[in-house]
Amino acid sequence: MKRAKIPDVFKTRKKPKIQQQTSEDWGEEDSGSAVPTDCQAALMYLRSLINVEALDRRIPPIIIKHQLYNVIKNRTHVDKQVNELRDSKEIKLLKLGTGPDEFSIVFTKDYVEHVNKQLPDRPVVKRFLSSIVEKTNSVSVDKRMLVDHLEFKDEEITELVNGGVLNVRDVGSWWIAVPGAGYFIRHFTKGRDAILRTIRNSKYKQILLRELETRDLKATKTLGMQYHIQEILGSGSVSKFDTTSGTMVRIDS
């Protein structure tokens, strides 16, 4: 079998030119030489899979953290670099409700641009972005931080909750959130369910990866088939193995 060409994005740490590719372009059937080792480049690749135009620009590009585990095989390396990017404020780790223990990733620049577009000309939002989003690596905030340290008033916190940048976590604490996240979660869930149902209904609950990639599933069009494939593989919802016909994906349970 002809070896997959290593994408240019992973030949250097310089800012890459991202191109949309299929799973086989990433060496799914190769010996592993095409597996990237740079988490930032992997994030940029996953970001490039999202068709923001199809989403009417209602959300920023959102990456599910475990998608990285399919692109970069070393989970420890992924977790270490995600923490480094988070500490450098380049990305935000967010709890969006895609899974009980799962976090999502948004580039900080994308998050700030999205919030400013959705909630323009609001002084309390600008304070929130400058004092929390751009200066901390926090996933959540509590009343002590907001009121005692940053001097937000109760009515301002309410405004942030109503604006969708804070979601209630517990009494006196809030998750940092994305305005319009519910729209993303609906499309994410529908697309994921459609792909898993397709595999489950296939013979022996398995299908060739390249065949799955060509399936015309309406529910996957918004986020994109490749986006969903990276997610189900990274989450362990399906397993994959090589056959003489190509890479096969299977639901084991």
Report the chain's C-alpha Rg in angstroms.
20
Q: What is the dihedral of CA 241, 188, 17, 20, to 10 degrees?
A: 60
Distance, CA of 53 to chain centre: 17
Boundaries of every domain in the chain: 8-176, 181-250
- CATH for the stretch 181-250: 1.10.10
Which of 217, 224, 225, 185 is CA-nearest to residue 201?
217
**DSSP codes of every residue in 7-55:** PGGGS-SSPP------GGGGTTTSSSTT----HHHHHHHHHHT--TTTT
Q: How is residue 133 annotated by DSSP?
A: I
Query: Could you list the pLDDT tens digit for every one of the 253 residues in the chain?
Result: 444 444 444 444 444 443 444 444 443 433 333 444 589 999 999 999 988 777 777 899 999 999 999 999 899 999 999 999 999 999 999 998 766 678 999 999 999 999 999 999 999 999 999 999 999 999 999 999 999 999 999 999 999 999 999 999 999 999 999 999 999 999 999 999 999 999 999 999 999 999 999 999 999 999 999 999 999 999 999 999 999 999 999 998 7
Cα 68 to Cα 6: distance, rounded to the nearest angstrom: 17
